[in-house]
Structure 1
Amino acid sequence: MSGSEQSGPEPRIITERRGHVFLIGFNRPEKRNAADFALLQQLALAYGELERDPELRVGLVYAVGDHFTAGLDLADVGPRIGPDGLDMVPEGGIHPWQVDGRSVSKPVVMAVQGTCLTLGIELMLTSDISVAAESTRFGQIEVARGILPFGGATIRFPRAAGWGNAMRWLLTGDMFDAAEAHRIGLVQEVVPDGTQFDRALELAERVAAQAPLAVQATLANARTAVRDGAAAAEAELQPALARLAATEDSLIGMEAFVTRKPATFVGR
């Protein structure tokens, strides 16, 4: 798969525009896509590009090679962890794990395969729809390395899977398979090996075909409910509806409903 390089002769992250979908690919297959500091920074910049460009409606995160990620490259990243943690977001970037108070306003779909450890699981938990190849193996193994998950798993894993299901894997560091990941809600679909990218792209393109402002408003309200509670989300529903009803896309959607023809939304 071709992609546009972001920086340097061998980019850790490759990106490609596929219509309104922004492909973001881990590109360190010789190291099982272990995340060194350069990969973390380039990933943050890719998320920043997704957020800023109004033509980009959905992100799709995938990985080149047999494995999604072996997790953090501790030999490279470990020495960079200071008294205040790890500063990995360059100017123009957005924290991919969104644990600094700022979130990407657009949906992200993920396709995973092979080995998916630690920060890979946390990226799935941060994203909105995940597709896994059936032979994928998962592990939240930080406790076996003497650290804790710092990309949001302690926050999002219990919310997604339930307390006991999350602690079963967070506190033991044991590996689990795609069937278990699906059972506990970590992934939404399990597909035959080699088809995970195509299925994730199909879902991303399906989302991208909807009215983008409506998609973003839906995502924002659901996040408000999770972060601030049902009452806060309820208070935003009618104002959000009024804003969307005044958009050009709302007129396009109504016309499509009346004429029974597909809508082509413009994001205004």
Structure 2
Amino acid sequence: MTQSSESPARITIDRDGHVLLIGLNRPEKRNAADLQLLNELSLAYAELENDAELRVALVYAHGDHFTGGLDLADVAPRIGADGLDTTAEGGINPWQVSGTALSKPVVIAVQGTCLTLGVELVLSADIAVAAASTRFGQIEVSRGILPFGGATIRFPRAVGWGNAMRWMLTGDLFDAAEALRIGLVQEVVADGEQYARGLELARRIAAQAPLAVQATLANARLAVRESDAAAEAGLQPALVRLAGSEDSAIGMRAFLSRTPAEFVGR
């Protein structure tokens, strides 16, 4: 990741095998998202998508808090007649509400405060792990704006209409136990263990056949974004394509020999 000449990088990028580690890195501001952070995050997502060696991302945050939400002092003046463009040239919108869609999965690990765009990153990810003391809030209505990173679309689908409206329309904060109850997150772990658990899950995904993982993700998203019928129509063609892959042969040999498979993504 290229570091800005004006200030330190807002996003850290590291690799753990086939896992891309994307860290929010503005801890002195509770990882509040200014335009620089948003642009760098979009470039990190593009790196995940475009590098064939990468199979999954783990998104996490440095410091005590995942994010306090938008840095309104920096971002609000940039809202123009067409809204707010947070995607750098060559980047991919991390909230998946415009532009290129990711074909690879994202695991997210959150702690401390997780507000607004942080909740929307959870909603746009595929698996979420939260520290037990995490506090969530979709508080845009308290700031005179609406959630514009996909929560109005994904939150009701993920947790049910009433649960979503309970939190989006009041701007109230809620805890990790409530996030787990309504299905916003998939696991709650002891404070300080969220990163390790998130990485464990990301590594498990990375160990599977990447083409199969991407096909599974794509078909599930097709059902949500278009229709069950569209997803059903794509099942058999996807099966035929995958069955002819090198990874399918590797998986079959591993099954017959009862040995671990080492997939190659072909």
Which of the five TM-score ranges fits, normalised by the shorter chain? over 0.9
Which residue of the other structure, out of 104, 112, 115, is the alignment partner of 2:113?
A: 115
Residues 14 and 24 in structure 1, CA contact (< 8 A), matched pair in contact too: yes
1:7 maps to a residue whose letter is Q
- Give, in whole Å, the separation in 2 of the partners of 1:236 and 1:102: 20
Report matched runs for 1:244-259 at 5 Å. Answer: 244-259=242-257
- Give, in whole Å, the separation in 2 of the partners of 1:149 and 1:52: 28
What are the Cα deviations for residues 113-142 of structure 1, in whole angstroms up to 9, with x where unaligned? Answer: 000000000001000000000000000000
Structure 2 match to 1:52: 50
Structure 2 match to 1:33: 31
Moved more, 151-160 or 96-105: 96-105
| Secondary structure in 1 matching 2:109 | strand
Structure 1 match to 2:97: 99
User: What TM-score does the superposition give when structure 2 sets the normalisation length?
Assistant: 0.98
Give 1:6 deviation, angstroms.
3.2
2:90 maps to a residue whose letter is G
Q: Does residue 2 of structure 2 align to residue 6 of structure 1?
A: yes
Identity among equivalent pairs (%): 75
User: What TM-score does the superposition give when structure 1 sets the normalisation length?
Assistant: 0.97
Q: How many residues align?
A: 264
- Give, in whole Å, the separation in 2 of the partners of 1:212 and 1:155: 28
- Give, in whole Å, the separation in 2 of the partners of 1:101 and 1:40: 15
| Secondary structure in 2 matching 1:7 | coil
| Secondary structure in 1 matching 2:14 | strand
Residues 93 and 99 in structure 2, CA contact (< 8 A), matched pair in contact too: no
- Give, in whole Å, the separation in 1 of the partners of 2:90 and 2:49: 10
Structure 2 match to 1:89: 87
Report matched runs for 1:153-192 at 5 Å. Answer: 153-192=151-190
- Give, in whole Å, the separation in 2 of the partners of 1:254 and 1:53: 26
Give 1:226 deviation, angstroms.
0.4
Residues 6 and 15 in structure 1, CA contact (< 8 A), matched pair in contact too: no
Which residue of the other structure, out of 117, 134, 137, is the alignment partner of 2:135?
A: 137
What are the Cα deviations for residues 79-102 of structure 1, in whole angstroms up to 9, with x where unaligned? Answer: 000010011212210001010153
Give 1:187 deviation, angstroms.
0.3
Give 1:107 deviation, angstroms.
0.2
Superposed structure 1 runs of 4+ greater than 3 Å apart: none
Structure 1: stretches of 5+ with no match in the other structure:
none
| Secondary structure in 2 matching 1:23 | strand
| Secondary structure in 2 matching 1:244 | helix
- Give, in whole Å, the separation in 2 of the partners of 1:240 and 1:231: 15
What value does the CA root-mean-square deviation take over the aligned residues? 0.7
What are the Cα deviations for residues 147-176 of structure 1, in whole angstroms up to 9, with x where unaligned? Answer: 000000000000000000000000000000
